[in-house]
């Protein structure tokens, strides 16, 4: 009986785990010296640009550019994941923030989400970015 109770409690708490964030810093210099400026990628959606411009004043002519990308409604038809999808908070969208200089990626942040990214998810991504990278 104790084993069954333990397993039930374990399963309940397993569904409440925090989101796993993946952070990669490809150029360590961005953590040591402040960036001269920060711009926005022109290919981002207007809704994502609007949320980011609430958090920081970007310069349009800067060579250091942030891009924010998300996709929702991701469906995996693989039967391999069917048990996982049925018994947990299987992600159906993601949010990715990258810092680039030209074509070289300097920083990347990625998180899987169980719903479409909202303002809090974007704030969290920028908060992680600004804590890791020295901003002007």
pTM of the model: 0.75
* 72 against 32, higher pLDDT: 32
Q: Is 99:133 a contact under the CB 8 Å cutoff?
A: yes
Q: Which is more confident, 27 or 83?
A: 27
- DSSP assignments along 47-93, one per residue: HHHHHHHTT----TT-SEEEEEEEE-------GGGHHHHHHS----E
* pLDDT at site 133: 94
* Cα separation, 90 vs 114, whole angstroms: 6
- Which residues, 6 or more positions from 90, have their beta carbon under 8 angstroms from its beta carbon? 76, 81, 84, 114
pLDDT tens digit sequence for 58-81: 999 999 999 998 876 655 555 555
């Amino acid at each position: 009986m104790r084993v069954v109770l333990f397993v039930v409690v374990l399963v309940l708490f397993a569904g409440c785990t925090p989101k796993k964030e993946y952070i990669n810093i490809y150029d360590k210099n961005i953590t040591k010296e402040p960036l001269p400026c920060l711009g926005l990628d022109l290919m981002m959606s207007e809704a994502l640009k609007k949320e980011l411009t609430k958090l920081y004043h970007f310069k349009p002519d800067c060579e250091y550019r942030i891009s924010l990308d998300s996709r929702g409604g991701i469906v995996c038809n693989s039967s391999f994941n069917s048990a996982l999808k049925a018994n947990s908070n299987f992600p159906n969208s993601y949010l990715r923030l990258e810092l680039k200089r030209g074509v070289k990626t300097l920083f990347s942040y990625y998180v899987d989400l169980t719903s479409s990214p909202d303002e809090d998810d974007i704030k969290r991504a920028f908060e992680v970015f600004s804590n890791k990278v020295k901003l002007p």
